[in-house]
Amino acid sequence: MLGVAGGIAAYKAVEVLRQLTETGQDVTVVPTASALRFVGAPTFAALSGHPVHTDVWDDVHEVPHVRLGQQADLVLVVPATADLLARAAHGRADDLLTGTLLTARCPVIYAPAMHTEMWLHPATVANVATLRSYGAIVIDPADGRLTGADSGPGRLPDPVEIAALARSVLARGGAVQDLQGRRVVVTAGGTREDIDPVRFLGNRSSGLQGVALARAAVARGAEVTLVAANLAVPEPAGAKVIGARSAADLRSATLDAALGSDVLVMAAAVADFRPADRSAVKLKKDSAAEPSAIPLVRNPDVLAEASALSAPQRAAIVVGFAAETDDVLANGRAKLARKNCDLLVVNQVGDGLGFEVDHNAATILGRDGFELIVEPTSKDLLAHRIWDVVAARLP
């Protein structure tokens, strides 16, 4: 069920609806009366393929405010305005949407959107905390342009990522908040090491797996920071995102963000080497500056450095990734011993494997001898399998 509250971001709920229906979800839309002043019922009806429910007095014999909540596998509210959050937190049932929220026994996700002052008001902060204490997922809004010239936290996250979060919760079959109150840092993407102002050394990582890990952690209640290195995919809804271009950038951002955190997951593909010198001008062929070779130097080993920290600087659990092309498990076990991280996710990469695809397979290795093989599956489901292992080890 897709609930739509009355805010200017209601038009973005149309894209969320389209993303869900195009991936096979059966969606019933329940807008508030105010929402229909922004987007008309025919739009929601045409895209969902169902009549739009708006009033408790429609089809009274079916008791819609009870039936909709009982039958839903997931309730997603986009946008969740300050008013809607307040009414839901206090158990109000003065329209069909809030009545349905009271009867829902399935996972509930709220995607807030409002002006910064409203999001930061103590009343809204308390209402969000109350809803989270009930087991609901309230994702933090994005920071960006709001209505008019205003800018700040309160912007609705990317509709594509809101839909992806909903699918992640559905794929897991629930919304157990086993990371509630935990501080999690995830790195994602691939670093770039500049050769000159035009060219760089890079890799094929799109950031899909790291974003899936961040998204899954948000769904499980964690406070998530994503250190993003040149993502080729949208940023995950509900996570704080810190950009990083090079391995040095990523090292600085990661060690700072992970200070005293509960979990650090190093899913980014960090360059092992960088050019010894960066040219200030473009290196042109047939010129005096044309290089015959590009000398390389080693980059810092961020995973090993993060693992070697002592408490309270070190994350309680450090998870590394190993992308291997041959002798996958042997190389993975050697890397685990070398890096001294707690867990290592090892996967084979190559044409059609690992990079730039929606699926993955891996073996999760533990420093204590733990080993779990995850057969080929979606990157969202692999992310949840990794978090299952991590959550079981958290103190």
Mark the ranges of the chain whose per-residue pLDDT is less than 50: none
- pLDDT tens digits for range 10-38: 999 999 999 999 999 999 999 999 999 99
Same domain, 211 and 351: yes
CA–CA separation, 387 vs 226, rounded Å? 15
Which helix (H) or strand (E) is 11 found in, with range? helix 10-22
Do the domain assignments include residue 261?
yes
Strands (E), 59-107: 75-80
pLDDT at 61: 56
Same domain, 259 and 378: yes
Same domain, 137 and 216: no
Per cent of the chain over pLDDT 90 is 79
Cis-peptide, bond into residue 312, ω within 30° of zero: yes
pLDDT at 286: 86
pLDDT at 20: 97
Do the domain assignments include residue 120?
yes
Q: Which domain holds residue 254?
A: 183-393
pLDDT at 60: 60
Closest CA to 83 of 72, 96, 70, 98: 98
**Residues 122-143 as b or e (16 or more Cβ within 10 Å = b):** eebeebbebbbeeebbbbbbbe
- pLDDT tens digits for range 132-161: 999 999 999 998 888 878 888 999 999 999
Same domain, 88 and 202: no
Do the domain assignments include residue 177?
no
pLDDT at 116: 95
CA–CA separation, 275 vs 197, rounded Å? 13
Same domain, 76 and 150: yes
How far, in Å, are 80, 83, 148 from residue 34 at the CA level?
Answer: 12, 11, 20
pLDDT at 32: 96
Is 127 labeled as catalytic in the residue annotation? no
How far, in Å, are 12, 106, 108, 283 from residue 167 at the CA level?
Answer: 17, 14, 12, 46
Burial class (CB in 10 A: 0-12, 13-18, 19+), 350: exposed
pLDDT at 28: 95
Do the domain assignments include residue 178?
no
- pLDDT tens digits for range 38-92: 999 999 999 999 999 887 656 665 655 577 888 899 999 999 999 999 999 999 9
Instruction: Give me the catalytic one of 127, 203, 347, 360.
Output: 203
Instruction: Report the CATH number at residue 35.
Output: 3.40.50.1950
CA–CA separation, 90 vs 78, rounded Å? 19
pLDDT at 115: 94
